[in-house]
C-alpha cells in the first residue's frame, strides 16, 4: 500500500450515525491528518470530508440535518471539494429511501431510490467481490477478486443519472456493482463525490488501498 507523500487534512463528520473511530483509524493508516468533528468550518475547509453512516436512512438524514451536514455536503460539492460517503452515508446521497414502505427524502445529489435488497438472505453481511469499471480510480491497484465487507439490508438497484456529454469527461459517473440476490450499486465515483456501500474501514488491506486511492486524489 502506498502512502501519500504530503499529509492531507481529512474530517470525519460526526453526526451521531457512523463508525467514526474505525474510519479515523483506517484513514490515519494512509498518512492523512484525521479529525472527528461536526464543526462547520473545519468540515468546510478540510481537504476531504468523510460522511459515514449506520442504521436507518430516515434517522441518518435527521441526524445529518441537525448537524448542518446537508449544508456542508452541498456547499463542498458546489465548490468541487471532495466528499466520501460510506454505507448509509452513501445511501443518503440519493434522492430518497424507502424503509418498511415509508419514503424519506435524501440529499438528492444523485437521482434514484434506496430500497430493500432483493435477496433470499437479508441483511447482506460479510465479504463480497465488486465489479468496478476499467477506468476506476477508487479501485486502482486492487485485484479483481478483492473482497470488501458489507453490512446492509437496503441498496440502490438502478443507476439513474444521465451521463454528461464528452465535454465533461471527469464528471462522468463511474459506477461499481456487486451482487447479493440482484445486482446493486456498490460504489460511485462522480466528480468530487465518491461513495461506497461497503465499509472500507473494515475491509482489511483492500479497504486500506481504496482509502489511499481516495486520499491521493485530494
Domain residue extents for the chain: 9-215
Residue 169: predicted pLDDT: 55
Query: Which residues, 6 or more positions from 127, have their beta carbon under 8 angstroms from its beta carbon?
Result: 147, 148, 149, 150
Q: What is the mean pLDDT of the chain?
A: 94
Which residues are catalytic, by number?
A: 87, 199, 201
Q: Counting beta carbons within 10 angstroms of the beta carbon of residue 191, is it exposed (0 to 12), middle (13 to 18) or buried (19 or more)?
A: middle
What pTM was estimated for this model as a whole? 0.94
pLDDT (tens digit per residue) in 100-154 = 999 999 999 999 999 999 999 999 999 999 999 999 999 999 999 999 999 999 9
Domain covering 9-215: architecture? 3-Layer(aba) Sandwich (3.40)
pLDDT (tens digit per residue) in 200-211 = 999 999 999 999
Arithmetic mean of pLDDT, 15-23: 94
107 touches 93 (CB < 8 A): yes
Is the model's pLDDT at 3 over the cut of 60? no
Amino acid at each position: 500500500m502506498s502512502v501519500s507523500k504530503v499529509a492531507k487534512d481529512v474530517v470525519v463528520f460526526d453526526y451521531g450515525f457512523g463508525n467514526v473511530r474505525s474510519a479515523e483509524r483506517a484513514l490515519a493508516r494512509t498518512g492523512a491528518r484525521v479529525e472527528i468533528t461536526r464543526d462547520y468550518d473545519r468540515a468546510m475547509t478540510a481537504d476531504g470530508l468523510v460522511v459515514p453512516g449506520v442504521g436507518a436512512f430516515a434517522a441518518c438524514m435527521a441526524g445529518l440535518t441537525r448537524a448542518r451536514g446537508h449544508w456542508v455536503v452541498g456547499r463542498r460539492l458546489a465548490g468541487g471539494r471532495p466528499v466520501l460517503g460510506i454505507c448509509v452515508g452513501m445511501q443518503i446521497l440519493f434522492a430518497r429511501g424507502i424503509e418498511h414502505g415509508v419514503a424519506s427524502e435524501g440529499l438528492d445529489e444523485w437521482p434514484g431510490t434506496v430500497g430493500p435488497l432483493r435477496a433470499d438472505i437479508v441483511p447482506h453481511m460479510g465479504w463480497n467481490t465488486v465489479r468496478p469499471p476499467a477506468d476506476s480510480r477508487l479501485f486502482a491497484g486492487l485485484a479483481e477478486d478483492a473482497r470488501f465487507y458489507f453490512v446492509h439490508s437496503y441498496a440502490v438497484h438502478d443507476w439513474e443519472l444521465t451521463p454528461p456529454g464528452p465535454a465533461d469527461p471527469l464528471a462522468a459517473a463511474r459506477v461499481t456493482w456487486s451482487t447479493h440476490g440482484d445486482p446493486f450499486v456498490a460504489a460511485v465515483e462522480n466528480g468530487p463525490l465518491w461513495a461506497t456501500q461497503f465499509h472500507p474501514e473494515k475491509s482489511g488491506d483492500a479497504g486500506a488501498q481504496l482509502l489511499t486511492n481516495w486520499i491521493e486524489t485530494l
